[in-house]
Structure 1
Amino acid sequence: MATLNWSAAIQHCQQSGSAYVIATIINTQGSTPRDGGSKMVITADVTYDTIGGGQLEFLLVQQARELLAQNKNCQLLKAIPLAAEAAQCCGGNVTVMLESFAACTWQIALFGAGHVCQSLVTILAGLPCQVRVIDNRPELMTTPLPANCHYEFYADPTAAIAQLPDNSWVIIFTHDHALDFALCKTLLSDQRWAYAGMIGSQTKALRFRKRLGDAGFAEAAIEKIHSPIGLPEVKGKLPMEVAVSIAAQLQALYYHNQAPQTGSSSSWRDIKTLLQEQKTTEILCE
C-alpha cells in the first residue's frame, strides 16, 4: 500500500492520467472492519488507503483490477457477507461501490511555448488530456503549468516526435517557420499521430504544402496536417482568442472520434435487490 491517502491518490492519478478505481463502503451491517464512507483507491499496481484489509480488501482489489483491465468508466455495487464470502470472523455485511475511471488516452504535444501556448494550456487544464509543451528555449519554461501539463526541453524539437506516444495530437506554433517546416517533414515521415495541426495564415499553409510536395511527400499525406488550425467562426487575434479557437476545434474533433463508453455497471434492478436485502437484514437484526 502506498503512503498517499485516498483523496491525494485521486489527485495524483488524475494528474498523471492513470486509470484508477475508488472503492467506497456505502453500507454496513453487524461487525465490520471499517465504517460506511471508508474509501481506498486502487490502480493496476498500487493501492492507497484501506477499507479494512484482509480477504475483503483482497477480493475488492481483484475485482477493481478486472475493471481497470477494461479501461472504461463504470460503476459497480457489490454486497459482501464477510463470513461467507471473505472468510472474516467479524461476520458482518458490507456493500461497496466500485467506481472505475479509465486512463487518459488523449495525449497532446504542443511544439512552441510562446503566448498562444501559454493561453491554450489554461484551457486544456480543464479537459481530459495530458499535455507536453516542447521547446528549445528554456527561458520560456519557467511559468508554472497546470497539473496535467509538463515541459520537455529539446535542443532540436524535431527529435521529440520519435518519443511521442502513438496516436498523439500534435500542435505546431513555434517562433521559427524553418522549425515549423522541419517538424512537418518529420511528422510526415513518422505518421503514428492521430492529429496534426499548425498555426498560421492561408498563405503560410499554401507555401508549406508546395514545399512539402517538392520534398517528395504525397498530397494526401500533406493534407493530414491541418493548417490554418482553429475554428474560423471564432474570431480574434489575441493569444487567448486564438487559443479558444484551437481548443474548440480540438475538443470537437476529439469527441466526434470517441467511441461511446460501454463499461459495465450495476443495473437499477440489482441495486434495488441489494437495498431490499439490506433492509430485510436490518429488520432481522433489530
Structure 2
Amino acid sequence: MNIARLLDILAAHLSKGESAIWVGVADVRGSAPRAPGTRMLVTPRGIFGSIGGGHLELKAVELARQMLDDDLAGLMPPARLEHYALGARLGQCCGGRVQLAFDVVTLTDLPAVEHARAMTAAGQSWVRVVSPGAHGARILSLTHALADTHHPELGASLQRLLEGPEEGATLTGLDEPGTSHVVELIRPAELQLTLFGAGHVGRALVATLARLPIRITWIDSRESEFLAQMPHNTRPLLTDDPVAEVRHLPADTAVLITTHSHALDFDLVRAWLDRNDFRFLGLIGSATKRASFAGRLQARGYDAPRVARLTSPVGDRGIVGKEPEVIALSIAAHLLSLRRQGQHRDHADLSTATIR
C-alpha cells in the first residue's frame, strides 16, 4: 500500500479517536520477505499494508494488538524494536533475521500525521525517526533532517538511504551510542502519469494503478466517463480543451494518450512533442496507427529523433489480449519500468512537526 493511502487511513482513524500501531521493517539480515522501509498499520479492527505475510506478520499483529490494548488501558506503551528469526519456529524458511519497529500513534499525533500528508501531497520526501522506549515518532522534512547539526549521524544515515533507488529504513545510534533509533525515509510517488482519455482502457488502467506509487492526472471532456469512486492517487481534470491543458502540466511526466478521437490524439502528440520535456509519451493503438502518425508528423517538420520519442503501441509485449483489463495490466507493467531509479526531487522545506 502506498504511503499516501496509508496516511489517509491513519488520519481517518485518529480523527475518530482510534489509535493505531505503525509497524515497520527496521533491519534485515539474510533472506527475508520484505526490505527495510516496508510498513503496515494495525488498528483495533483492521490491518492495512503488509510486512510480508506469513507467521512473521501474524506475530507482529499479535504484538501490535497487545500494544493497542495497553493504550486503551491508559498505559501509554512506548515504541519498541523486536527481533525475529525467520526459521522453523516462525514457520518461514527464509532463514534470515528481521527487526520490526512498533510505534503507537494516537489522536495527539494527528498534527504530525497531517504534516506528513502535506509533504506527501507536495511531492516531498520526509523522514520518520522512531526511538525505542520513547513515546511517538519524530516527523521531519528531508531537508530539515539532512541539515540537523545536532544529530550528524542522522544526515549520514539518510545519505546512505538516498543512494538506494527506493524508500528504506536503517538503524542508527544518533547521539546515544549503543541505542538503536530507526530512521525511515519516505519518498513521494516515483512516477507522475498524465492520462488522456476516460474510455474503457483509461478506466481499467486507473483502477489497476490505484494502489501503486504513481500519481495520476486524468483528463477528459466527459464527466460521466470518470470512475464514480476516484482512487486517492488520481486527480480528474474535466476540460473541453485537453490540448490546452498540456502547457500547464509538469515536466518529466509520463504521458499516455488513449482518447476516443484520432484527431485529438494527433493534436496531443504534437503538443507534447513541441514541449519535449516528458519522460515518456505513449499512444495507444496499432503499429499501423503509429506509422500513420509518424508520417504526418514528419510531413509537418518533426525530425526523426523527435518522432522516435513517441512510443506506440504501448504495453508489455509479453502480456497478450484485447480486453481492457488485460491491456491495462500490460500498460501498467510498462509504466512501472519507468519509475525513477535513484533520482528523486525534493521541494521546499516545510516546518518540522514532532509527535508528542
Could you tell me which residue of structure 1 aligns to residue 138 of structure 2?
40
* 1:127–1:15 CA distance, 2 compared to 1 (3 A): farther
CA RMSD, 1 decimal: 3.5
Structure 1 position 105, deviation (Å): 4.1
Q: Aligned AA for 2:204? A: S
Instruction: Find the partner of 2:127 among 21, 38, 61.
Output: 21
Q: Secondary structure at the match of 1:80?
A: coil
Q: Secondary structure at the match of 2:266?
A: helix
Instruction: Find the partner of 1:148 among 233, 238, 241.
Output: 233
Instruction: Find the partner of 2:187 among 99, 102, 111.
Output: 102
Any residues of structure 2 matched to 1:105-184 within 5 Å, and which?
A: 105-141=190-226, 143-184=228-269
Q: For the residues of structure 1 that align with 2:141 and 2:341, how far apart are their CA atoms?
A: 24
Could you tell me which residue of structure 2 aligns to residue 223 of structure 1?
308
User: What TM-score comes out, normalization by structure 2 length?
Assistant: 0.56
Q: For the residues of structure 2 that align with 1:13 and 1:62, how far apart are their CA atoms?
A: 23
Could you tell me which residue of structure 1 aligns to residue 290 of structure 2?
205
Instruction: Find the partner of 1:243 among 306, 312, 328.
Output: 328
Indicate conservation of the 8 Å contact 1:107/1:169, yes or no: yes
Any residues of structure 2 matched to 1:45-84 within 5 Å, and which?
A: 59=150, 63=154, 67=158, 73-74=167-168, 75-80=170-175
Instruction: Find the partner of 1:232 among 317, 328, 331.
Output: 317
Q: Aligned AA for 2:282? A: G
Q: For the residues of structure 2 that align with 1:201 and 1:4, how far apart are their CA atoms?
A: 50
Q: For the residues of structure 1 that align with 2:343 and 2:149, how far apart are their CA atoms?
A: 31
Instruction: Find the partner of 2:341 among 251, 258, 272.
Output: 258
Structure 1 position 110, deviation (Å): 0.5
Select the structure of larger CA radius of gyration: 1
Indicate conservation of the 8 Å contact 1:6/1:41, yes or no: yes
Indicate conservation of the 8 Å contact 2:282/2:314, yes or no: yes
* 1:144–1:155 CA distance, 2 compared to 1 (3 A): same
* Unmatched 5+ stretches in structure 1: 28-33, 48-56, 86-92, 262-286
Q: For the residues of structure 1 that align with 2:302 and 2:274, how far apart are their CA atoms?
A: 9
Q: Aligned AA for 2:278? A: W
* 1:5–1:162 CA distance, 2 compared to 1 (3 A): same
Indicate conservation of the 8 Å contact 2:219/2:238, yes or no: yes
Structure 1 position 123, deviation (Å): 2.2
* Unmatched 5+ stretches in structure 2: 1-107, 345-356
User: What TM-score comes out, normalization by structure 1 length?
Assistant: 0.68
Indicate conservation of the 8 Å contact 1:106/1:128, yes or no: yes
Q: For the residues of structure 2 that align with 1:66 and 1:152, how far apart are their CA atoms?
A: 40
Q: Aligned AA for 2:137? A: K
Structure 1 position 205, deviation (Å): 1.4
Structure 1 position 14, deviation (Å): 4.8
Residue identity (%): 28
Any residues of structure 2 matched to 1:261-276 within 5 Å, and which?
A: none
Q: For the residues of structure 2 that align with 1:239 and 1:97, how far apart are their CA atoms?
A: 43
Instruction: Find the partner of 1:189 among 264, 274, 277.
Output: 274
Q: For the residues of structure 1 that align with 2:193 and 2:343, how far apart are their CA atoms?
A: 21
* 1:13–1:80 CA distance, 2 compared to 1 (3 A): same
Indicate conservation of the 8 Å contact 1:19/1:103, yes or no: yes
Q: Secondary structure at the match of 2:219?
A: strand
Structure 1 position 40, deviation (Å): 2.8
Q: Secondary structure at the match of 1:26?
A: coil
